[in-house]
Copies of this chain bind each other. A is one copy, B any other.
Amino acid sequence: MAASLAARTLARPSFEEAFGEHAFLRAMLDFEATLAAAQADEGLIPRESAVAIASACEAFEVDLEAFVAEGKQSATLAVPLVRLLKSRLPKAVAPHAHFGATSQDVLDTAMALCLKPCLEEADRALEAAVRALADKARRHRATPMLGRTLMQPAIAITAGLKLARWAVALSEDRERLAEAQAAGLALQLGGPVGALEAFGSHDCAVRQRMARALGLADASSWQAHRNAWVDLLDRIGLVVITAGKIARDVALLSQPEVGEMQESPPREGVGRSSAMPHKRNPVGCVHALAAATRMPGLLAIVHAGSLAEHERALGGWQAELATVADIAGALGTSLDFLDTIAAGLVVDADRMAANLRQYGEGPGDTALLAARTDALLAEHASGLS
């Protein structure tokens, strides 16, 4: 299903590109070229075959519509990929392409390769957002504001404490994501039933060479036991949750009746309404909350799809394949929001003070709250600076 235009307004362009048709095709070809090179290194196929395969991969062009149609008939894009690749190779070389591999090897690895730049970008964006929010937290360590529970005024906190919590939560999400990536962003190479029969005693060596070349973790075949990968997707979900929680707070605080924060200073062309030109909508919050609304259902699909039958799933895996780009997409949407608040979050200390006076029970012990803010930031200093 081509993404509806409506869905695209939630997309972060770099992420859209990372999972775009050309990127995915390129990732599948990278799998094939790298496989051949590693097999040549191990003497499983001739070096000249690997060179020819690499050239054919580089020169590979295809009518994408016909390619998709053929992939659909086989329930896997690997079939047209391998057929076309072989058709462009000398007869003697053709059997050396995709040698000993299976369609799931191509697709799972391609999926990981597409996700990789997204995670790298996420790491940088999270780092920047964490640093910006921590800075702002320090600046507002002693800016009193209403704490609110069950959407009613509770006792005072400081804006710094709230911001420090956001920063710490994102910092921890970032660490969790990096940790899961180390295990879960892995090469998939198993052959038809995961045993790399055709590789003889070179199985591990080929895997290690390929993993290194592709910048992925090495792992034994995970085609039917996908939890390292699912764990990685789950932890993407945690980032989206935190961004969504922050967006909910910002949206609540930017109600004009409250008026304590804005996601950004007014910007030309951002947040306009088609019916009410004077209005400014919290567009970043819309995006982050849309992503957070999507994520539980998207992860539920992956979780349900993980009960793979025997050595390769019938239906569940294919549902996952159709969902990974959306999960990455929701992460990208969330990062857009985090970029926005990192760059421009507006904190209105006067409105905070006024609301606290009007609806609270007193200013609280600002010095203590500032100290709490400092302590929280200090405790997580390594991730915040």
- Is A106's CB within 8 Å of the partner chain B? yes
User: What are 30 inter-chain pairs, A to B, with CB distance below 8 A?
Assistant: A1-B15, A1-B19, A4-B325, A5-B68, A8-B68, A8-B71, A9-B68, A73-B270, A73-B283, A74-B273, A74-B274, A75-B283, A79-B272, A81-B274, A147-B193, A147-B195, A149-B192, A151-B310, A151-B314, A152-B282, A153-B256, A154-B192, A157-B311, A168-B225, A197-B368, A234-B234, A289-B318, A290-B305, A296-B296, A297-B300
A272 and B242 CA atoms in complex are apart in Å by 28
A20 in contact (CB, < 8 A): yes
Asked whether, in the complex, the Cβ of B292 is within 8 Å of the Cβ of A74, the reply is no
- The docked-state distance in angstroms from the alpha carbon of A24 to that of B1 is 13
A10's partner among B245, B254, B322 (CB-CB below 8 A) is B322
List chain B residues, Cβ under 8 A from A193.
Answer: 147-149, 154-157
Q: Is A101 an interface residue (CB 8 A)?
A: yes
Nearest B residue to A301 via CB reads B297
Instruction: Tell whether A48 is near chain B: CB-to-CB under 8 Å.
Output: no
Binds B, one of A35-43, A129-137, A209-217, A359-367: A359-367
Q: Report chain B residues within 8 Å CB of A365.
A: 197
Determine if A231 is an interface residue (Cβ-Cβ < 8 Å).
Answer: yes
Give every chain B residue within 8 A of A298 (Cβ-Cβ).
Answer: 297, 301
Please report the C-alpha to C-alpha distance between residue A98 and residue B275 in the assembled complex, in whole angstroms. 8
In this complex, what residue of B is CB-closest to A380?
B220
Q: Which residue of B lies closest to A192 (CB)?
A: B275
Chain A interface, DSSP helix/strand/loop, else mixed: helix
CA distance A166 to B276 in the complex (A): 25
A247 to chain B: which residues have CB within 8 Å?
315
Query: By the criterion CB–CB under 8 Å, are A74 and B271 in contact?
Result: yes
How many copies of this chain are found per oligomer? 4
CB distance A1 to B3 under 8 Å? Answer: yes
The number of residues on chain A lying at the interface, defined by a beta carbon within 8 Å of a beta carbon of chain B, is: 165
Interface code A171-214, partner B: CB below 8 Å = 1, 0 otherwise? 01100100000000000000111111100100110000000000
Query: Is A257 close to B, CB under 8 A?
Result: yes
Contacts of A368 in B (CB 8 A): 195, 197, 200
A138 in contact (CB, < 8 A): no
Indicate if A374 sits at the interface (CB-CB under 8 A).
no
Q: Complex Cα distance A166/B241, Å?
A: 29
Interface residue A385 (Cβ < 8 Å from any Cβ of B): no
For residue A9, give the distance in angstroms from its CB to the closest CB of chain B. Answer: 4
